[in-house]
Structure 1
């Protein structure tokens, strides 16, 4: 991306609110531009804002999200910025909830990346909770994940009794119980 375009897009990203994102940012940037910026982990603030913009834009239109499934998955797999991953994991959760058809390789990479995230002691609670949901959606097809996910959530709750972690875990336990009883 040329420096002038980068400056124009970053100015729009940094000055836009969630309500004006679509109108302002998409005047100067394409969704592909936002993915490029979301993968710039060396510039944490821009990486976060681009990911946040993608979350708000793509989750507002499911068809749009589905058409950008591959770049969403790639951004998830490449990204290491916790703030950006908070938004990107929401995109992955939504794709999985919509039963987006993943290849076996994509499933394996998403499972591995999610476990890497959950194993990181620095992982923020919101990203951790989204990781639980990602594994839940994949456990519908990969039953071996059910017990693994239950154990992981139990260990995490023993370490951190945050309300968000406990609440999300209880919700996922209930869903997992329905899967394992069917």
Structure 2
């Protein structure tokens, strides 16, 4: 895990398993504009990082000034960088009614095998079936089979849903 400590103060940013995580820093009292500006700078930074396959913006509250021209410009630039980089962007908004569980525990329809967990973890990082297969020394078709079985067992239908609920699944 690489932490971008000291680079930004209003947000925290780190890379873990091919995912660039960006969240507001709960220990800093920053205005919404600074938080959004730094989050977009971090997203642009992750877009240029070849190790990052998926960028997750998590726990951001809506701003009261969505029409701010500076933020609109930064948003357009970050979006263009992410689009050109062909990375997956996941936005996980926070909810005032959302209560974090005291103990994180995986929520499965059925438990995953060790190999399915390995495949799903790499898949969640944005790798293609061929790239996952090359890393685990298995065929593309086997990877696709493990992904299909994993989706069924986890009760999900997409890679985006897998990334959104990764912590819930213990991945």
TM band (smaller chain):
0.3 to 0.5
Of Structure 1 and Structure 2, the greater helix share is in 1
Task: Tell me the TM-score normalised to structure 2 length.
Answer: 0.32
Of Structure 1 and Structure 2, the greater strand share is in 2
- Higher relative CO (CA 8 A, sep ≥ 6), structure 1 or 2? 2
